[in-house]
């Protein structure tokens, strides 16, 4: 999933539906969560950067997850998220 964010007053606002043909001129944050290969290639082409693969990201030491390469700033993060309803049901059945 590709999400693009642009400044809005004192925060960032998610662009309604990002266009894979062009990034908004004021885009400051591109978020890729399980991107399709089409989204990956579009970001690489539009932003002029190489998007790290999952394997590349897993090899990055915790202390090196913020870095600058060829003028682009990268942040690789492991984040917790809310489990899907299916996961919650399975979790409840396992704890019963």
Domain boundaries, the chain: 2-95
DSSP letter at 21?
A: T
Distance CA 91, CA 50 (A): 38
CA-based radius of gyration for the chain: 17
Distance CA 74, CA 54 (A): 14
- Pick the closest to residue 7 from 20, 24, 19, 31 (CA basis): 24
pLDDT, tens digit, 9 for 90 and up, residues 37-89:
899 899 889 888 888 787 777 776 766 777 788 888 887 776 655 555 554 44
What confidence score (pLDDT) does residue 83 get? 57
Distance CA 70, CA 63 (A): 20
What confidence score (pLDDT) does residue 33 get? 83
What beta strand segments (E) does the chain contain? 2-8, 11-14, 29-32, 66-69, 72-75
């Amino acid at each position: 999933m590709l999400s693009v964010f642009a400044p809005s007053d004192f925060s960032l606002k998610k662009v309604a539906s990002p266009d894979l043909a062009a990034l908004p001129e004021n885009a400051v944050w591109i978020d890729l969560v399980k991107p399709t290969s089409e989204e990956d290639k579009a970001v690489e082409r539009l932003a002029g950067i190489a998007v790290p693969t999952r394997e590349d990201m897993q090899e990055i030491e915790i202390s090196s997850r913020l870095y600058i390469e060829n003028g682009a700033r990268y942040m690789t993060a492991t984040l917790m998220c809310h489990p899907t309803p299916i996961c919650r049901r399975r979790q409840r059945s396992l704890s019963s």
